Amino acid sequence: MYDVASERKQPVEKDTGQPVITTWEKMSKSKHNGVDPDDMLKDYGIDTTRLLILADVSPTSHRHWTVDTFPGILNWQNRLWLTMRNFLNERSKLSAGVKCLPNSPEFKKDEAWMFDNRNFFVKGVTFQISVTFQLSVAISRMQGLTNSLRRANSLVVAHSLQFERALASQIILLAPMAPHFASELWSGFVSAPHRLDTSGEILWDKGVLEQAWPQVDSNYEGYELTCKVNGRDICNLKMIKSHLNQLTHDDAMELALSQTELQQSTQGCKIINTTFTLRQNQEAVLHLVTERTDRKIAKGS
């Protein structure tokens, strides 16, 4: 046996000071180097184990099994429990029948911020699950939504419709990967008094697995037309989803050519080709190719 010092990034053997080379082996029954799934399930349960597996790498990537992912996932689950407990505490403090919302500019700003965050992360998680199939990235986006929920002050937690919607979306997004954990969170969520959503978006009398998948709001201006010149990003034009989905090549050209940044980037250049790519409900890209490809694009770009 060798005495190894591992405080450094590169572990070394203490007696000789020689670096220790780390190698990875494929799990094999014959080598007896596998990880027993029963041990994982016994220590962490099925939902946490599934999250540990999915959060590490994409389904198509080779996996180096490591316990380094465990603390992050366990901490995330704990933060979700704390978020739910805080939500229940703040809602329980409200007086019966209180429906009036705070009218201060600060509250309205916080409400708008939570609206944007909910839509941003719902859009991102949906894209990663249904289009790219990068489940590890989807989990990272869910953790981002948790961070936004944790940043909300007590007034927002107690009175904000957008916080309530964001918390509901968080649990529903989590449900396919951790159905038991999400069901427990949902049980707490629907037990909260003084509900704000009356639109039918949240089915208060149904379980989390019976909820509709969260949708991006129609008035959310978080969709982008990206304009490129000779392969370089010049500007991004924000718009709502319905405008994005109806965008044509001609529409995109008209919008792009009205932008000062693009005008400066193509000044004195002849546009010889344009391509337009639209990904429904996600993004659009307009690429312009000019004759003078050696010309500097806009300063500071």
Sign of the alpha-carbon dihedral angle for 162, 164, 166, 172: negative
d(CA 180, CA 139): 16
Q: Are 163 and 155 in contact (CB under 8 A)?
A: no
Residue 268 neighbours by CB under 8 Å, 6+ apart: 292, 295
**CATH number of the domain at 68-210, out of 3.30.499.10, 3.40.1160.10, 1.10.730.10, 3.30.1330.10?**
1.10.730.10
Q: What is the pLDDT of residue 298?
A: 47
Mean pLDDT estimate for the chain:
87
Model confidence over 18-42: pLDDT tens digits? 787 766 556 555 555 567 778 878 8
Torsion of CA 143, 134, 58, 182, to 10 degrees: 40
Q: What is the pLDDT of residue 135?
A: 94
Instruction: Give the largest CA-CA distance in the chain.
Output: 74
Q: What kind of fold does domain 223-290 have according to CATH?
A: Ubiquitin-like (UB roll) (3.10.20)
How far CA 290 is from CA of 123, 161, 253, 256, in Å, comes to: 33, 49, 14, 14
Model confidence over 61-92: pLDDT tens digits? 776 667 777 889 999 999 999 999 999 999 99
Q: What is the pLDDT of residue 38?
A: 82
Burial of 246-281, coded b for 16+ CB within 10 Å and e otherwise, reads ebeeeebbebbeebebbeebbeebeeeeeebebeeb
- pLDDT, average across residues 164-186: 98
Domain boundaries along the sequence of the chain: 68-210, 223-290
3-class SS of residue 94: coil
Look-up of token digits 């590490």: 56
Q: Are 285 and 228 in contact (CB under 8 A)?
A: yes
At 286, give phi and psi (nearest 5°). -115, 125
Indicate if the pLDDT at residue 122 is higher than 50: yes
* Structure confidence at residue 187 as a pLDDT band (50, 70, 90): very high
* Structure confidence at residue 96 as a pLDDT band (50, 70, 90): low
- Which has more pLDDT, 132 or 276? 276
Tokens of 268: 């004195």
d(CA 88, CA 83): 9
